[in-house]
Every structure is written in structure tokens, then in C-alpha cells.
Structure 1
């Protein structure tokens, strides 16, 4: 049971990473606006932000997040498969690095790092508290095969693009809400699960993909710069909420020290 749960982790991690990629951004636009406004002797009115629509949702979010360099994420899942996760993503200088720490009742605390194209898995007692180093391009390694697509592209535009073909509708609810002190507008986004990116479907496996409903309604909290601050969705009574913070100043993502790495498979 534990082994099967461990090999099911890539789907959860990939979903988290995909949402994270959709949520990545940089605080530099806001910082530039603040600097520019401080030079003026009189304040200027805050421009009204046009509502996102089904037609411009992907284009606007992609444009807003093209300069992503790093950010932190936090995810909670409630229901029968309750779990929590925190992590960071770095795409600076062409990197595709991420670190995710997950906790579930069945697997306990698990840490996954992808740094420089190499995968590191800390499986707690199962790996002796060490990080198992795995080449994700090694088809003979079950962990490598399971996580092979994890770090292919964590850029903001790629994350949003995963939803483009599947987008059914984008509707502003008219509600506004502050997320970590930032004002946001709330949107309901309906996605056709039969049209999500093929690599995401394959990561779920045949059973996982078949278990998905025909559509999923995501709730997005989006700020005035078109940056995603929070995403939530519900599937079969399980609610997953992911928040994004520290845009452009995410925690460093680094490989574990050599004395904390092992290559010995736990089974």
C-alpha cells in the first residue's frame, strides 16, 4: 500500500507544480508603479482593470507572468485524502527547479526536490532520513519513470497553457477579497477535463483520469496585475486550495548536501 501511494505522488506533485506555474509572477511591476508614482507631486487615480474573459484569460495571465523568477506556494487538501504541502519554484536563468514538502496520513512527510535536472526524494524512515537521488531520465528506475515529466517546464506561460485548450468559461463573480493583504477579484473558471494537456492526463494514469468529472470549476483570486494569488477547486468532495506568495523573492531551491544523499533504493 505504501509503495503504491508513493508512486501516486507524482500526480499530486505535478498538479501542484502546474498550479504553481499558473500562479508564478514577479512583484517588479508593482514595485515599478510605486516608484514611478512616488516621483509625482500629485497622486494619479488607480486605473480600472478590465475583467478577464474566456477570450483573453490565457493571454493576459501569460503576459503578466512572463518575467517570473521565483515564488513560494502552499497547498491544503481537505476530505478523505487530506494533505498539505509547501514549496518553492525557481525558473531564473532558464532553471526548472522546485522543492515541495508534502504530508499525508498514509505517506507521512515527503520532500521532493528537482534541481539541475536531478530528482531528490526524502521518504523519511523509508530512505533513512536521506534524500534518494534519482535520474528522472532513467527508465529502469521506477521513481525516475514516475517523476520523468515533473521538471520539464515550470514557467508561468507553460502552466497557463495547460488550461488553454480545456477552457470552457471564465466568469467574474463580482466579489473582491484580500489574499495575504493583496486585493483580488474572484473568478470562476470552468475546465473540460477531457481536453487538459496530454502530459497532465498521462501523469494521472488511466484510473485517475477516468475518475475525473467531465468539468472542474476552479475559483481564481487574481490581483490588479493579473497575477494569481490563490486557486481552489473541488473534486469528489475533496477541496484543494493553493496560494502563491513572495513573487520574485521565493525561498532558494538547492540540492541537498552530499552527506544527506543516497542512491540506495528503499525497495
Structure 2
């Protein structure tokens, strides 16, 4: 697998963890399908009530996480500029206060696909894995997938809250900044201490990456406290991530047994 794709995958997972505060995906039940539905009603019909007032440096992490848990799911489209190349990633994520119920599926150009279900990470690297999914080991035997596994799965809500509180150096809010997908948003600019953020989240820096002293996030958030856009630059990679379809039904499944291979990507 090329360094370009490794970097793109690592940046994507780091962005999802660090930018959204996703919970850990620990081992849980055997259900490999998750459709968000409460009491027979779709999440769209039971959207979280709008929170009052602009978020502050003290409450923004808690409010954003609470809103995500209430919505339960989201679709995202991410565009990255990696080594002069534009890479687009699309996917869906299911968030839950129960770590065992957190799920994610995302795809990139070139047949690269990642799924996270019930604490297991599956990687389809196209030709590298014969078009099948490699189930990442949890014993650290593959450094590349261990990096991705760590990026996705080693944070929990308590660690996220402490990470942001510890790493936050500056916080600014600009009301009525932009209307995104019909939603008026407030732009929050967060300056975070890179080293403290990564250490708190147990994220290892990709080899050779210059992550800089600080990371600046521009988060565009609706009055319901749900992110609509995140703009950031991490390790020299410019990234724009758009979020939509909050609370819509999402089904994410583990690959069937005949689509799983022992071929190790990046070995």
C-alpha cells in the first residue's frame, strides 16, 4: 500500500476521532447490523432539541457529544489534499454512548474501504488484498493497521473531554458565519496543542509526519449543536469534512466470511 494511501487513511481516522470525539469501539455483542431507530420512529423525527446560546470553551465538547449521541448517526464527505493529490472519502458513522455500538464505514477512490463493527477493523485495499477485507489483528503485529486501529479505537468520551480541555489553547466563536445545507451555523475556531491532544488520545504520529505545535480546527455547528463542517490542516494535509443526514437510518455490517482475507496490507 502506498505511503499516500496510508497517510490519507491515517488522516481520516485521526480527523474523525479528534474532530468529533467518537467513542471507543470496544468488544461487544455479536450483532453486525445497526439501524438507528427509536420506538419505531426514525431519528429524523426525533431530532435533538435546539440548545440555547453559543457554545463556550467550557461546554462545547460536552454539547457536541450529547447532540451526536442523540442524533445517533451521520453521513460525511471528506476532501483532502495529500501530497498534491485530491482524495475524497465518503462514509457513514453510528455513534453511541455504548462503545460496543459505535460503527463506521468509509470508502475512497481506488477501491479502498474501511469498516469498523463491534470492535473489529476491516480494511479492503483493492488489489493489495485481492478485493477482499483484511481483518486487523489486535496484537500489534501489523504496524500500519495498528496505527489505524489506535486512531479509531483508543479514545473514549472521558478521554476526549479531558483531551480537548487539556489541549485547548484558544477558542473563538463567530455567530451567523455561514449557511450550510440550509442550516445557519456558528463558526468555532479551536487552537489545540498537537502534542497534548495526541498524547491524551493515545494517537501515534505517522512516521515522518511534521504535525506542528498546534492544530487549528474551524468547526461550523448548527443551533442543534451538530457539526456541519470541519476545516483543518494536519501534518501538512488540508482537509474539509462535510456532515449531513444527521439521525437518518444507517446500516453498517461486517464483511461476510467469504470476503475476509489473511493477506496483510503494508506488511
TM-score, normalising length: structure 2: 0.75
The 3-state SS of whatever aligns with 2:149 is coil
Structure 2: 5+ residue runs without aligned partners? 24-41
The 3-state SS of whatever aligns with 2:247 is coil
Find the counterpart in structure 2 of residue 65 from structure 1. 68
Find the counterpart in structure 2 of residue 232 from structure 1. 231
- Select which of 44, 48, 55 maps to 2:58: 55
The 3-state SS of whatever aligns with 2:264 is coil
Q: How far did 1:143 drift?
A: 4.7
Q: How far did 1:244 drift?
A: 1.5
Find the counterpart in structure 2 of residue 98 from structure 1. 104
Find the counterpart in structure 2 of residue 11 from structure 1. 10
Q: Does 1:84 align with 2:85?
A: no
Q: How far did 1:232 drift?
A: 0.4
The 3-state SS of whatever aligns with 1:252 is coil
Using the alignment, how far apart are the partners of 1:31 and 1:97 within structure 2?
Answer: 20
Q: How far did 1:219 drift?
A: 1.1
Question: Which one has a bigger Cα radius of gyration?
Answer: 1
Number of aligned residue pairs: give it. 245
Find the counterpart in structure 2 of residue 41 from structure 1. none
Find the counterpart in structure 1 of residue 221 from structure 2. 222
Q: 1:68 to 1:199 in 2, by over 3 A?
A: farther
Q: How far did 1:32 drift?
A: 6.7
Q: How far did 1:23 drift?
A: 8.2
- Select which of 110, 123, 129 maps to 2:125: 123
Using the alignment, how far apart are the partners of 1:231 and 1:173 within structure 2?
Answer: 14
Q: 1:139 to 1:70 in 2, by over 3 A?
A: same
CA contact (8 A) 1:84 1:102 kept: yes
Using the alignment, how far apart are the partners of 2:144 and 2:205 within structure 1?
Answer: 15
CA contact (8 A) 1:11 1:204 kept: no
TM-score, normalising length: structure 1: 0.75
CA contact (8 A) 1:21 1:155 kept: no
